Chain A
Amino acid sequence: MLQLNNISKSFNEVQALKDITFEVKKNELFGLIGPDGAGKTTLFRIITTLLLPNNGNAFVNGFDTVKDYKEIRKITGYMPGRFSLYQDLTVEENLKFYATVFGTNIKKNYHLIEDIYSHIEPFKKRLAGKLSGGMKQKLALSCALIHKPEILVLDEPTTGVDAVSRAEFWQMLKNLQHKGITIIVSTPYMDEAMLCDRVGLIQNGNIFTIDQPDNIVNSFEKQLWAVKADNNKFKLITDLRNHPNVESAFAFGENIHVSLHDNKQEIKTLEEYLSEQGNQKVVIKQTKAGIEDVFLHFSQQNSVTQ
């Protein structure tokens, strides 16, 4: 459905994308995971024909993003990161406008947006600018869907959205996927990676891994330990980093995830050391890596080699 070949893009000296090659299959839910400034938006703007690459080419359903941009725009629904609907039009007027621009009407494709639009329909006479964050997001998604696109490109749809609304939003995406739509979505939230069929991890314009989220997590070779104590976390993390056998120590919720230089050394020695330093009720357990662990270790290696 989507094929990218050696895409590069620079803005003056800044290389935003470096030789990006990957494909997204038909009806796949593909996630692009990375922080601000990684190159996610630049890539999405190239896919949606809004920006020209310096090198490489990209195809959406066989259409070239440079030559056949008109065809691509007909079959693509794009939800940019910044809310870009008309704030001075009502909810209903916005939807009608987007339907008309694409030569269709709300009635014809209502079945596609019903799940989502029904939440905001009671407020259809309200100005879009007066909606709450979660409602704006639902309206923007409805507008991106109203011309029945084959592929949906969503740029950070859940940034700044609370955990409950985020969970609901992902449920909506799953429903759309079941209706046959291919979805490519970007997010800075690592936990959302697990909800995609495949993900690409991107940083500094490079995609460093593309795979099913389970495979990415399972291929992580380092043994990780979850360390917990009853006192100040800053002290615990500082003490851990001062220990010669500790390779890395990162906060993860209530625990600190630790990797060691030498795993043969008894974990009990570390526990004793932490207690000696005055940490209370130290508990150390083996733990499984998550996507965020993989990301952290990769960016650490990356900054060392740079």
Chain B
Amino acid sequence: MTNEPVIKVKNLVKKFGSFVANDHLNFDVYKGEIFGFLGANGAGKTTAMRILCGLSTPTSGELNVAGFDVKRQSEEIKKHIGYMSQKFSLYEDLTIAENMMLYGGIYHMRHKDIKLRTEEMLKKLDFWEKRKTLISDLPLGWKQKLAFSVAVFHRPEIVFLDEPTGGVDPVTRRQFWELIYQTANEGITIFVTTHYMDEAEYCDRVSIMSEGKIVALDTPGNLKQNYQCDSINDVFIKIARPTEA
């Protein structure tokens, strides 16, 4: 992790009619950092994440992602980030290698680079022998790891992970986090949401949103100290009141 910001957010406001989904958010995320983006359901996480990915425009505020202005250069941003959601991951009726070919092509990678990168990534995962297997024939844990590999296939500067480990077994969940660590060590910034509070402890820094605002942002260690809690779960329950009654 470095001190060089790759995401800069100043006074982000997003309104839907009279409803304020993001209420003056301010934060920076640094290159190579694992940044945990936590909050109760409906706190405004997805809204903010969609804006950062260039999929939605802010009502007001200044945002810079990977060196590009969110309002004016959203197409550039899309080229420089990766995204993985819990629901959609890979094409079930294509093989592992074909999925990588497809995503590499979408990001305008050269044929030769796609081949090299496919080999590099699949050998690292010990999947090289299985490259001609259809995605539909793989267990869920493998699919999750591959979906992550596809999201960082074009070497984005930042990868956004939206609840990447929901429902995954405890062993795979940990293997998945080891992949995240490796990727962060390579200098790719990780922006991740999760409902598993033990995973929040694996992040370099954690922000907690409540009712559209960021109510806490610090290292897991400092958060626990400041709120005098033994775990991030306790910190979360203390400060992340849900919006609904």
Chain A residues in contact with chain B, CB under 8 A?
A: 34-38, 119, 122, 132-135, 156, 159-167, 188-191, 203, 232-234, 237, 250-254, 292, 295-296, 299-300, 303
Contacts and interface: CB of A to CB of B under 8 A. Distances in A.
A159 B167 contact: yes
Interface in B135-172: 139-140, 163, 166-172
B205 to A, nearest CB: 14
A227 to B, nearest CB: 14
A232 B139 CA distance: 30
Interface residues of B, number: 41
B202 A251 contact: yes
A37 B231 CA distance: 29
A237 B168 contact: no
Contacts of B106: none
A295 B169 CA distance: 9
Given A160-B195, A233-B202, A35 B167 contact: yes
A163 B243 CA distance: 13
A162 B163 CA distance: 11
B201 A253 contact: yes
A303 B141 CA distance: 14
Interface of B: 39-43, 86, 139-140, 163, 166-172, 174, 177-178, 181-182, 185, 195-198, 201-202, 220-221, 231-233, 236-237, 240-245
A132 B19 CA distance: 14
Contact of A254 (B178, B182, B201, B240): B201
A190 B240 CA distance: 21
Contacts of B42: 132-134
A237 B171 contact: no
A300 B42 CA distance: 37
Given A188-B167, A251-B202, A300-B171, A165 B41 contact: yes
26 contacts: A34-B169, A35-B167, A35-B168, A36-B167, A36-B168, A37-B140, A119-B245, A133-B41, A159-B167, A160-B41, A160-B166, A160-B195, A162-B39, A162-B195, A163-B197, A163-B233, A163-B236, A164-B240, A188-B166, A188-B168, A251-B177, A253-B198, A253-B231, A254-B220, A296-B174, A299-B170
Given A160-B195, A166-B195, 13 more contacts: A35-B169, A156-B167, A159-B167, A160-B166, A163-B40, A165-B40, A188-B166, A188-B168, A189-B196, A191-B233, A251-B177, A254-B220, A296-B170
Nearest to B42: A132
B170 A35 contact: yes
Residue among A35, A166, A237 with the most chain B CB within 10 A?
Answer: A35
A164 B174 contact: no
Nearest to A237: B178
B11 to A, nearest CB: 25
B178 to A, nearest CB: 7
Nearest to A121: B245
Contacts of B43: 162
A135 B244 contact: yes
B240 A234 contact: no
B139 A37 contact: yes
B198 A252 contact: yes
Nearest to A234: B181
A14 B212 CA distance: 45
A163 B237 contact: yes
Residue among A160, A233, A253 with the most chain B CB within 10 A?
Answer: A253
